[in-house]
Chain A
Amino acid sequence: KQEVTQIPAALSVPEGENLVLNCSFTDSAIYNLQWFRQDPGKGLTSLLLIQSSQREQTSGRLNASLDKSSGRSTLYIAASQPGDSATYLCAITGANSKLTFGKGITLSVRP
């Protein structure tokens, strides 16, 4: 059974700092990995999707990497802004096409 872990559960940084959010998973037989953003009381916004054959994806100030062999992914946020404050969820699509989510990392960017 796939397990997805995101540590720490919360992170607070000053504005402008570059930061890395970590995600680890136990089963390397994945179809893809996604990073989502969730604002309080809201649904999910897909940020980046990495197919199992890819190593990384970039969108603006965001860069996500995938290392299947070690069961790890990172989300890099450059020049963080207060508007980046949210919960970031990592999710794995397995061979059964089902998504397994981590608990998320709640990011607070201080002005």
Chain B
Amino acid sequence: GAVVSQHPSWVICKSGTSVKIECRSLDFQATTMFWYRQFPKQSLMLMATSNEGSKATYEQGVEKDKFLINHASLTLSTLTVTSAHPEDSSFYICSARDRRRGTDTQYFGPGTRLTVL
């Protein structure tokens, strides 16, 4: 149980285009999902916290208009990188908290590798 998927697993796009990444909890309902970004040889940095049915909470320094987050259902959150540029190339990982378990355990997706040319 507690499986989280991400789609796509990798994407290559041209500078200026927008890219949408999906995060799904497959066998549980997640009221809260988290989006992280990881640059090579660096730790995961929390970008935003996504709560179902409400606006996402962004960490300091993360542009909310550039990284659009939608959490429309208890099993799906999406991250859209708008007008992507090469500096947005990174590994994006989502996680989801299982509401049934009543703990702060986060279950992580496999990640999405974004390369902006």
Contacts and interface: CB of A to CB of B under 8 A. Distances in A.
A and B form one complex: yes
Interface of A: 4, 9, 31-32, 36, 41-46, 49, 89, 91, 93, 97-104
Given A32-B104, A43-B93, A49-B105, A104 B46 contact: no
Q: Is chain B's binding surface mostly helix, strand, loop or mixed? A: strand
Given A41-B113, A98-B49, A99-B34, A89 B44 contact: yes
B7 to A, nearest CB: 13
B54 interface: no
Contacts of B67: none
26 contacts: A4-B43, A32-B104, A36-B108, A41-B91, A41-B113, A42-B110, A43-B93, A43-B108, A43-B109, A43-B111, A44-B93, A44-B108, A46-B105, A46-B107, A46-B108, A49-B105, A89-B44, A93-B104, A97-B104, A98-B34, A98-B46, A100-B46, A101-B44, A102-B43, A103-B43, A104-B43
B100 interface: no
A43 B80 CA distance: 19
A102 to B, nearest CB: 6
Nearest to B94: A43
Nearest to B42: A103
A100 B95 CA distance: 13
B106 interface: yes
B19 to A, nearest CB: 18
A4 B45 CA distance: 12
Contacts of A43: 6, 93, 108-111
B83 to A, nearest CB: 26
A104 B42 CA distance: 8
A100 B104 CA distance: 13
Contacts of B45: 101
A89 B104 contact: no
Contacts of A97: 104
A36 to B, nearest CB: 8
**B43, B46, B49, B110: which has the most chain A beta carbons within 10 Å?**
B43
